[in-house]
Amino acid sequence: MEIRVLGPVGLRDGDDEVSVGGPRQRRLLAALVVHAGKVVSVDRLIDAVWAGEDPPDGATKTLRTYVSKLRLALGDGHLRTTDPGYSLVVDGELIDAKRFERLSTIARARLDAGDPREAIARFDEALTLWRGHAYDEFSSEPWAWAEAARLEELRLTAREDRAEALLAAGDVPAAVAELEQLTAEFPLREHAQHKLMLGLYREGRQADALRVFQAHRRYLAEEVGLEPSPELVELERMVATRDPRLDAVAAPRALRGYQLGEKLGEGRFGVVYRAIQPTVDREVAIKMIHPDLADDPAFIRRFEGEAQLVARLEHLHIVPLHDYWRTPPCGASGRVRPLAATSHGTSGRSSSRRASPTT
């Protein structure tokens, strides 16, 4: 069973719509979803069910009838009678709005962790749940408007964050198209204006990016009497001067379940990169061996022997070795590259002695 409020309010069981009844019974369902997990008094439910009307003399009895019918539609004891009213007790996954929030949170976390492709997939899954406006025909009624407005704001934020993920993944044209639509629909949303300017600049459209800023400045002055934020003004300056900091940064590379980030340092045997292991949300350092050593049989034998030895060491002053492997041959050279992953702090430095097979 799915309770749906991201569009017309209703119930769905698999591919089948479940009849809830007329507008008043749908109002009852929606009012309970707004306060899911909490007891809603009979008086508040009557106000919601007969919104804008004078309740009839037998409103309490009629409400009880609506509750009985809704209880049958929901099944499994989800609608409980608890003094002084009723409560909807369901797993959050059964309510499309709750599932949307969870997926959006996961998507944003993936984007922050440097995995824009996974973020895009989760944002798409979340946004697909929407079939219209939150709470649909009830969205402007006093008991629903605050929750409906909150969900609509989260939806816009998810669309902006998805466009940001597209930029991070290097899909600049798709990001620009989405941001142009967003800024046309919601011209006051400065985050979208910021990302649109950045996307246009990365497409080589510096003049268009500057025009976006000027148009936004005029709109703010004429409509609300405000100026762009200092952050947007600074972006305009950076675009105008072609600041190299605006250049696209390649999305982190996926490597054996790790997301490879920036370079931390380089030694005699290899280059060390910051990385994330998304499955356990762990930050590590990965050492990639220099190509001139990667296919040296003597080096490989010593590397593997030392790696096995270091992996067994446990000491406060030794950085642990979590994993090591060799990749298949790549390119015309047919080289392989042994790799070592060690635990690593967020600062990019470690006060412990680094015990690895190549140091």
Distance (Å, whole) CA 208 – CA 192: 15
Q: Which pLDDT score is estimated for 53?
A: 87
Least confident of 79-88, 92-101, 219-228, 303-312: 303-312
Strand order in the sheet with 85-88: 39-41, 85-88, 79-82
Segment 230-251 mean pLDDT: 86
CA angle, 257 as apex, 256 and 260 as ends, to 5°? Answer: 85
Provide the pLDDT for residue 331.
37
253 or 122, higher pLDDT: 122
pLDDT given for residue 91 in this prediction: 85
Dist. CA 312–CA 315, nearest whole Å: 10
The residue type found at 131 is R
Task: For the sheet with 16-18, list strands across it.
Answer: 2-4, 10-13, 16-18
Judge whether residue 276 has pLDDT over 80.
no
Q: In what order do the strands lie in the sheet with 270-277?
A: 253-255, 258-266, 270-277, 282-289, 338-343, 321-326
The answer on pLDDT for 249 being more than 70 is no
- Looking at per-residue pLDDT, the higher value among 316 and 219 belongs to 219
Rounded average pLDDT over 14-42: 93
pLDDT of residue 186: 96
Task: Give all strands (DSSP E) within 19-120, no chain letters.
Answer: 39-41, 79-82, 85-88
Beta strands in the chain (DSSP E): 2-4, 10-13, 16-18, 39-41, 79-82, 85-88, 253-255, 258-266, 270-277, 282-289, 318-319, 321-326, 338-343, 353-354
Q: Which one has a higher pLDDT value, 359 or 181?
A: 181
Q: What is the mean pLDDT of residues 227-253?
A: 85
Averaged pLDDT of the chain: 85
Interhelix angle 145-168/190-202, nearest 10 degrees: 20
What mean pLDDT is predicted for residues 67-77?
90
Of the CA atoms within 13 Å of residue 17, those in its CB half-sphere come to 6
Length, in residues, of the chain: 359
Q: How far apart are CA 145 and CA 303, in angstroms?
A: 64
pLDDT grade for 1, boundaries at 50, 70 and 90: confident
Q: Which residue has the higher pLDDT, 329 or 247?
A: 247
Tracing tokens 């993936």 back to the chain, one arrives at 110
Compute the distance between CA of residue 109 and CA of residue 158 in angstroms, rounded to an integer.
12
pLDDT at 11 over 80: yes
* DSSP string over 179-227: HHHHHHH-TT-HHHHHHHHHHHHHTT-HHHHHHHHHHHHHHHHHHTS--
13-27 pLDDT per residue, tens: 988 999 998 999 999
Using DSSP's 3-state secondary structure scheme, residue 63 falls into helix
Relative orientation angle of helices 59-74 and 42-49, to the nearest 10 degrees: 90
CA nearest neighbour of 198 among 168, 227, 155: 168
> Does 45 have pLDDT greater than 50?
yes
Average pLDDT over residues 120-140: 96
Taking the CA atoms of residue 30, residue 33, residue 127 and residue 228 in that order, the dihedral angle to the nearest 10 degrees is 90
pLDDT band of residue 296 (cuts 50, 70, 90) is confident
* pTM assigned to the model: 0.69
Domains and CATH numbers, the chain: 1-166 (1.10.10.10), 170-251 (1.25.40.10), 254-354 (3.30.200.20)
pLDDT attached to residue 254 = 56
Are 175 and 167 in contact, with CB atoms under 8 Å apart?
yes
The share of the chain scoring above pLDDT 70, in percent, equals 84
The candidate with the shortest Cα–Cα distance to 62, out of 75, 80, 50, is 50
